[in-house]
Every structure is written in structure tokens, then in C-alpha cells.
A and B are shown apart, each in its own frame.
Chain A
Amino acid sequence: DAKTTQPPSMDCAEGRAANLPCNHSTISGNEYVYWYRQIHSQGPQYIIHGLKNNETNEMASLIITEDRKSSTLILPHATLRDTAVYYCIVRVTSGTYKYIFGTGTRLKVLA
């Protein structure tokens, strides 16, 4: 699976949009981009995923560049409860389907 690169930490003011970048320059054509988050002492939680089109759900938006080498997770109105570690993962949707987690981005939402 392709490796991803994320900044180790970010701060965001409460109520503002949080934009979390991810580089995945070696992504293959059949690999999806997934985002998970992990709130302290809990298991990771699925947020969103996409292949090449931008995606939006009730939690977040995912913007994938046209060359698919990077993506941005957008939390439109961050709240204190969004403070967590956010993981960007790329994986094929066949075979093992296993996820290879990096160290993620620790997002701190400030009051």
C-alpha cells in the first residue's frame, strides 16, 4: 500500500474550518484514500473515503487533487469534540483490504 505523509500536529479555532492535508504521491490507480480519526483512548472511527472525486458526508469533505497525489480533509465547523488524531490511509479495495496507519495529524481545536 502507498505511504502517506501528514503534518504531525495542527491547531484550529473552534467554529472555523479545519483543513488537514495528506500527501500520497505513490498512490496507484486502484487505491482509495480513507480518513479515520482517533479520539483519546478510543478506537479509530471512519470519517470518509474517495477514489478520485471529491466527497462529502455529514462529518467532513474530502478534496482529492486531479493527479491524486494529495488530498485534504475538511471539517467545516470544527468543535472541541473534533480534537483527535486524524489518519490518512490509502489502500486497495481487493485482497487483504488491510489498512496501514501512519502516525497521523494531531488536531487540537482551540476554544
Chain B
Amino acid sequence: DTGVSQDPRHKITKRGQNVTFRCDPISEHNRLYWYRQTLGQGPEFLTYFQNEAQLEKSRLLSDRFSAERPKGSFSTLEIQRTEQGDSAMYLCASSLIWGANTGELFFGEGSRLTVL
């Protein structure tokens, strides 16, 4: 399968614990995005990378959240000191931006976080 893959698919943790999600984008894609989705809402933009550079972060991304994309390949999203309000689906997407390519996003299946 050459799509976007995310791991783990489900994570249950206790409040105050740290969690890390991994995203493997489509291999030739140079952009990688993280979104968060809560029940009944559309996905909310968190941050994005072009290659290894993190170019924009949403104000939703508090200082407990950190994302990296070393070497411009896979990406990790870490949440420190989790809170119950962090419970959501975390979606990763990738795209190829070049020339006239209009860069539609390809999403993974998401990582569902439940904070008890």
C-alpha cells in the first residue's frame, strides 16, 4: 500500500501522560499536514511541513504539542501532559506541490486518541 499511513490507529492514555503519533506520507510528497478532528466537526488545521521545514502552526497547537519531520520523510506529533480535551482523531495528510500541480491532499486513516 503506497498511501499515507498512521500509527497507532488507536491510543488510550491517562491524563498527564505523553503520547506520540507517527505519520508516513506518500514517498514523493513534499508537504505534510497535521489536522485534528473532534466528533461532529470538520478537520482543524494544526501545522504543516514542506520537506523538513515546519512552515506554519495553528494557534490551536499549544506548547504541549510538538511536531517534527526529520529528513523530510515521516513525521511525528507529540502531545505532552495530555488533557481530556486532547481526545480527538489526529489526521495526517500529504501532498505534492510543484509547478502547476494543484496539490490535493491525501489523508491517512487517522490516530484516535482517548484521554481518560
By a beta-carbon cutoff of 8 Å, the part of chain A in contact with chain B is 32, 34, 36, 41-46, 49, 85, 87, 93, 96-104
Contact = CB atoms under 8 A, between A and B. Distances in A.
A100 B42 CA distance: 9
Given A45-B107, A49-B102, A103 B93 contact: no
Interface stretch (B13-21, B43-51, B66-74): B43-51
Contact of A46 (B35, B56, B104, B108): B104
Contacts of A43: 4, 91, 93, 107-110
B66 to A, nearest CB: 19
Contacts of B97: 97
Contacts of A34: 104
Nearest to A85: B42
29 contacts: A34-B104, A36-B105, A42-B110, A43-B4, A43-B91, A43-B107, A43-B108, A43-B109, A43-B110, A44-B91, A45-B107, A49-B104, A85-B42, A87-B42, A93-B102, A93-B103, A97-B31, A97-B95, A97-B97, A97-B103, A98-B45, A99-B105, A101-B35, A101-B42, A101-B44, A102-B42, A103-B40, A103-B41, A103-B42
